[in-house]
């Protein structure tokens, strides 16, 4: 059984159902109403290490072929993406990403200015950009459509999704997790997956388990329709500005990573706390978009039509937290999105279901186990999570492992 009907929980449930398991998902609110329903919908083939590159590319493959394996249609925009650097440090960073991503199998190429000018209507190059073209990259226009596709596919393949039913307890017997309790019922299960997103720690604590994650706010905006935005234009990530852009609803979507991010611990909030209560600050996004005002005038001039946000679950090393909880057999975790849980959900769900049903971790995936950090005090967990967030596209992380507290950041 799975706790939480976000992208990670639903994908895990769907893949377990496809493997012939009987599955129940229990969701506190409604499916996809938290982080997954707020995502930018971006999938990114260029990642900071080989495992994440493999998972990201597998996810793209599964998203574009969703109907073939899940039996339910899913619309995916396939415009590719540009990665742009405008400082020496970031140009070097992208050169390293180019070399390593190609080594790891991703289709990434250097783009010349004519290609950028010809294909990217909303970006006016200032000269001096170093640009990579990533033809594999895709996005899903409205994040709810992936959630709905997972929900439909779960129904088709026999997984039950219970909504508006918070899990209030995890039962244990003889040192194992044996099921969950809600106000309505007890559900016995040999496998319990904690996929509670920003609430993953407190759900783990229901079983006395420690999950090494720190939730951090992330925000984006969508402008009103703007004439210079062609809906078919590619995704753009300007790495020195730590910002991503894509066409959305006739306007532009822009989101980014501030250097002074906001940790949000739902455990310290009232029990009713939800994503709607995450404090939003348009000033943060405005400071980020100001860095590309000359190149992307629409993002500054067009009025803001939507401003939304939610929680990333950041891990100390920027990698997913996926696998069995060592000191409590039967309890598993599907989390540690580090900003790419939406896009990596197809492959993460597949890998975790494979691990649960076969008993063996798929190659490399045991490196994502929740137990890999050893004990860490809460303040270190938060500090390291914030560092990962603030260095999302930071050259330091690629240049020197020693410069980072641990590992390299994840990337959506
Ligand atoms: C503004 C924004 C933009 C983003 N853009 C991207 C992007 O472009 N690409 C990308 O890959 N990722 C993106 N992300 C990150 C992505 O949204 C997350 O990685 C992903 O949604 C995490 O999925 P999840 O299933 O872990 O969490 P959630 O979607 O939050 O789901 C967890 C669920 O658990 C439920 N739950 C909690 N407690 C309980 C309980 N006690 N009982 C039952 N259920 C419970 C919650 O109600 C919730 O529905 C973005 C996030 C934000 C906020």
Kindly calculate the radius of gyration of the chain based on its CA atoms and give it in whole angstroms: 20
Ligand 1 centroid distance, CA of 360 (Å): 26
Give pLDDT, residue 400: 35
Using DSSP's 3-state secondary structure scheme, residue 52 falls into: helix
Residue 122, phi then psi, degrees to nearest 5: -90, 0
Cα(320)–Cα(355) distance, rounded to whole angstroms? 15
Cα(382)–Cα(391) distance, rounded to whole angstroms? 14
Share of the chain above pLDDT 90, in %: 94
Give pLDDT, residue 393: 86
Ligand 1 centroid distance, CA of 296 (Å): 29
Ligand 1 centroid distance, CA of 49 (Å): 23
The model's confidence at residue 291, banded by pLDDT at 50, 70 and 90, is very high
Give pLDDT, residue 395: 62
For residue range 33-58, list pLDDT tens digits in order: 999 999 999 999 999 999 999 999 99
The DSSP letter of residue 305 is E
Residue nearest to atom 10 of ligand 1 (CA): 340
Site to probe by mutation for ligand 1, drawn from 339, 344, 352 as the one with most ligand atoms within 8 Å of Cβ, is 339
Give pLDDT, residue 407: 46
Ligand 1 atom with minimal separation from the 217 CA: 53
Looking at the predicted structure, is the pLDDT value of residue 63 above 70? yes
Using DSSP's 3-state secondary structure scheme, residue 342 falls into: helix
Element (H, E) at 2: strand 2-3
* Mean pLDDT within 109-119: 96
Contact 391, 397 (CB under 8 A): yes
pTM above 0.75, yes or no: yes
Cα(348)–Cα(218) distance, rounded to whole angstroms? 21
Contact 138, 60 (CB under 8 A): yes
Contact 176, 18 (CB under 8 A): no
Pairing of strands 81-85, 235-238: parallel
Ligand 1 environment, Cβ below 6 A: 3-9, 26-29, 33-36, 38-42, 166-167, 195-199, 203, 218-220, 255, 308-310, 312, 335, 337, 339-343, 412
Residue 405, phi then psi, degrees to nearest 5: -60, -35
Give pLDDT, residue 19: 98
For residue range 358-406, list pLDDT tens digits in order: 999 999 999 999 999 988 999 999 999 999 999 998 766 543 333 344 4
Looking at the predicted structure, is the pLDDT value of residue 176 above 70? yes
CB atoms within 10 A of CB 354: 17
The model's confidence at residue 357, banded by pLDDT at 50, 70 and 90, is very high
Lowest mean pLDDT among 35-49, 69-83, 252-266, 392-406: 392-406
- Three-point CA angle 285, 289, 293, nearest 5°: 155
Ligand 1 centroid distance, CA of 35 (Å): 3
Longest dimension (CA), the chain: 66
Ligand 1 centroid distance, CA of 337 (Å): 8
For residue range 300-342, list pLDDT tens digits in order: 999 999 999 999 999 999 999 999 999 999 999 999 999 999 9
Q: What is the mean pLDDT of the chain?
A: 95
Contact 3, 194 (CB under 8 A): yes
């Amino acid at each position: 059984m799975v706790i939480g009907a976000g992208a990670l929980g639903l994908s895990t449930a769907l893949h377990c159902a496809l493997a012939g398991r009987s599955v129940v998902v229990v969701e506190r609110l409604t499916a996809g109403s938290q982080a997954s329903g707020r995502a930018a919908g971006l999938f990114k083939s260029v990642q900071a290490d080989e495992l994440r590159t493999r998972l990201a590319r597998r996810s793209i493959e599964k998203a574009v072929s969703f109907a073939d394996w899940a039996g339910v249609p899913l619309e995916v925009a396939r415009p590719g993406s540009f990665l742009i650097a405008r400082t020496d440090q970031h140009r070097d960073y992208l050169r390293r990403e180019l070399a390593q991503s190609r080594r790891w199998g991703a289709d990434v190429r250097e783009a010349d200015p004519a290609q950028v000018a010809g294909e990217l209507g909303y970006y006016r190059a200032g000269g001096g950009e170093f640009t990579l073209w990533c033809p594999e990259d895709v996005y899903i226009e409205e994040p709810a459509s992936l959630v709905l596709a997972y929900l439909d596919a779960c129904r088709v393949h026999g997984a039950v999704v219970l909504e508006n039913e918070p899990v209030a307890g995890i039962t244990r017997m003889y040192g194992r997790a044996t099921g969950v309790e809600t106000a309505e019922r007890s559900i016995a299960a040999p496998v319990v997956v904690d996929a509670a997103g920003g609430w993953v720690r407190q759900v783990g604590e229901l079983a006395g388990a420690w999950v090494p994650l720190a939730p951090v706010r992330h925000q984006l905006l969508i402008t009103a329709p703007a004439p210079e935005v062609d809906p078919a234009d590619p995704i753009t990530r300007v790495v020195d500005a730590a910002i991503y852009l894509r066409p959305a609803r006739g306007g532009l979507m822009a989101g980014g990573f501030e250097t002074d991010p906001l940790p949000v611990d739902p455990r310290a909030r009232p029990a009713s706390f939800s994503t709607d209560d995450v404090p939003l600050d348009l000033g943060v996004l405005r400071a980020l978009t100001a860095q590309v005002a000359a190149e992307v005038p629409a993002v500054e001039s067009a009025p803001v039509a939507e401003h939304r946000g939610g929680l990333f679950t950041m891990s100390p090393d920027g990698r997913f937290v996926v696998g069995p909880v060592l000191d409590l057999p039967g309890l598993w975790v599907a989390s540690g999105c580090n900003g790419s849980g939406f896009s990596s959900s197809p492959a993460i769900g597949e890998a975790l279901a494979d691990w649960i049903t076969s008993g063996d971790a798929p190659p490399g995936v045991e490196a994502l186990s929740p137990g890999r950090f050893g004990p860490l005090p809460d303040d270190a967990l938060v500090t390291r999570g914030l560092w990962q967030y603030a260095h999302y596209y930071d050259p330091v992380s690629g240049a020197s492992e020693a410069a980072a507290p641990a590992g390299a950041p994840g990337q959506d």
